[in-house]
Amino acid sequence: MVLFRQALPRYSGQYSVSTLDLELAVPPPPAVGRSFSPATLKASGKPALELDTVLATVFYPANPHPTSSSARQPWLQRPVGQTGEGYARFLNFSKPWVLKALFWLVGARIRLPVAQNSPLADHLASSSSSASADTLVDSPDSASHWCGEIASRGYIVAAIEHRDGSGPVSVVRLDGGDERVVDYLRPEEHLSWPTGTHPQTSLEFRSSAQLPFRLAEVSALAHHLRRLNAGEGAAVARENRRVADREKDELGKRLERWKGRVGLDGEMVMAGHSFGGATTIQVLRAGNSAFPFVRGIALDPWADPIPPAPSPSHRRRSSSTSLAQLVEAAESPSTAEADPDPAATASSRDGAKGGKVPLDIKVPLLVINSESFTLWKAHYKLVRDIVTSVGGGAERYLLTLVGSIHTSFSDLPLLLSSLPLVPSSLARRTGARVDPLVGLGAVVDACSEFLGGEGRTGAVLGREVDQGDGEEKGEDGKTRLVGEPGSWRVHVASEGKKKTL
């Protein structure tokens, strides 16, 4: 019985795409070198957040390969049953067996249109790397289409699977073959706090613990990408906990050919969706003193977890914020000093816990909002303030994809629209008014222009800024943006001092 059609379409760029799962130990000492939270898990009494390894799926341009190979990358994390239970917990679903059955019947059969561990393409039009912080539903595969499309255009995309408890489930492979399962965390439900410690809300925990944890993971991944670029491919393969021992020698030979081909200094890009968008903004705030990223892409960023600005004394001591300073600011949102310079910060939305956001990003930034996030006025103002205050003469853009919602940037609408067992009305509702493939295609085109440094000469980024709010009432009486679904509304477009990768 055929349960689904071709669920995930082939990528449209000039290159074939392959994937590589990397799980490597965090380099000693850990990037932050401290506990991320005093909280413990109610179920086990163990620390709420532990950083042992960093896990990423690397999407990269490859020599042509048959995608019918049995080595194609599965869309769902294995074991499937455990992943189903994780999603049930994430969705607070009372009958996890239903999701497990659905995952086995449908999700377990879905493969990405790529082969695993193929050789890196012999000739690349670009050697740039893009490190994706990914999404709130923390799995590289939930944003696999975006990652694969960017890779098919000649970029290496390393998509992190975060272990901060913001995703449905992740399995950490420890020394000696042991495993540790990281489940989705609701602080009020799953965490205990030491006597005398104020229990944190979900938003406070996101800002003070999970966001710094993510920064440490990004730092660890950047370290290992540098190793690949330096010719340590054989050593990376031996240490990779996602590859069988019998395959490590052959993988090592292939990874040795990555020497000098992973764009690093002056070429790395940080990108993320949702909570990953907040991670991207926080990483860019740190500057080159902590991370090697020269531009950033935030897809429908969830800005509430972004912590307050470092104190004025921190600003005076250094022209760029260090990772330690960002962590300190995140851990003490209630005690961070208010910045007396109104041009240096942006006010958060009313009632947000993030305080004031430092507007000290000095590298190019592209933010693409969904229509639903743009119509969320208080949040839109915060995001717009971040974009308009990008300094250093860097280009900055804020666009909205008309007819889209938050999940329009993920694989979910593509999958639902291709599954005959799912009613088409549900697929349309989940994918909003925009056709899933059209919407993701438009987002990829805009990102490609930005990565290629096309700036105001691009078909998307070269559009004029739209005046007014551009809102109207739809037939259902709900407010929506004017324009055909899949078209653009441009809020901010400033080329700055043009610099190509």
Nearest Cα to Cα of residue 370 among 417, 408, 416: 408
**Euclidean distance between CA atoms 412 and 371, whole angstroms:** 17
Residue 95 has pLDDT above 90, yes or no: no
The residue among 362, 382, 366, 278 whose CA lies nearest residue 318 is 362
Q: Is the pLDDT reported for residue 358 higher than 70?
A: no
Extended beta strands in 392-486, E state: 396-401, 471-473, 479-481
Measured CA to CA, the distance from residue 418 to residue 309 in angstroms comes to: 45
| Distance separating alpha carbons of residues 218 and 472, to the nearest angstrom | 41
pLDDT at 112: 80
Could you tell me which residue, 294 or 237, shows the higher pLDDT? 237
- Domain spans, the chain: 16-398
What's the rounded Cα separation, in Å, for the pair 303 and 385? 11
Q: What's the mean pLDDT in 289-301?
A: 88
pLDDT tens-place string over residues 438-452: 999 999 999 999 998
The pLDDT-based confidence of 150 (bands split at 50, 70, 90) is very high
Q: Could you tell me which CATH class the domain 16-398 is placed in?
A: alpha beta
**pLDDT score of 454 more than 80:** yes
Summary mean pLDDT of the chain: 79
The H or E element containing residue 372 is helix 371-374
Sort 301 into a burial class: Cβ within 10 Å, 0-12 / 13-18 / 19+.
buried
49-55 mean pLDDT: 94
Confidence band (pLDDT; 50, 70, 90) for 411? confident
pLDDT of 4 higher than 50: no
H/E element, 490: strand 488-494
Task: Specify the pLDDT at position 142.
Answer: 78
Whether pLDDT at 395 is above 80: yes
pLDDT for the residue 124: 75
Q: Which residue has the higher pLDDT, 67 or 262?
A: 262
The average pLDDT across 248-253 equals 94
Pairwise pLDDT comparison (230 vs 476), residue with the higher score? 230
Name, in order, each residue with C-beta under 8 angstroms of 335's C-beta and a sequence gap of 6 or more: none
Structure confidence at residue 339 (pLDDT): 36
Residue of 169, 211, 432, 219 lying closest to 326 (CA atoms): 211
Quote the pLDDT of residue 96. 63
Least confident of 16-20, 103-107, 491-495: 103-107
pTM, to two decimals: 0.85
Q: What is the pLDDT of residues 151-210, one digit of tens each?
A: 999 999 999 999 999 888 889 999 888 999 898 899 999 999 999 999 999 999 999 999
Higher pLDDT, residue 393 or 428: 393
What does the pLDDT look like over 197-213, one tens digit per residue? 999 999 999 999 999 99
Distance of alpha carbon 12 from the chain centroid: 21
* 100 has pLDDT over 80: no
d(CA 344, CA 339): 7
Q: What is the pLDDT of residue 341?
A: 33
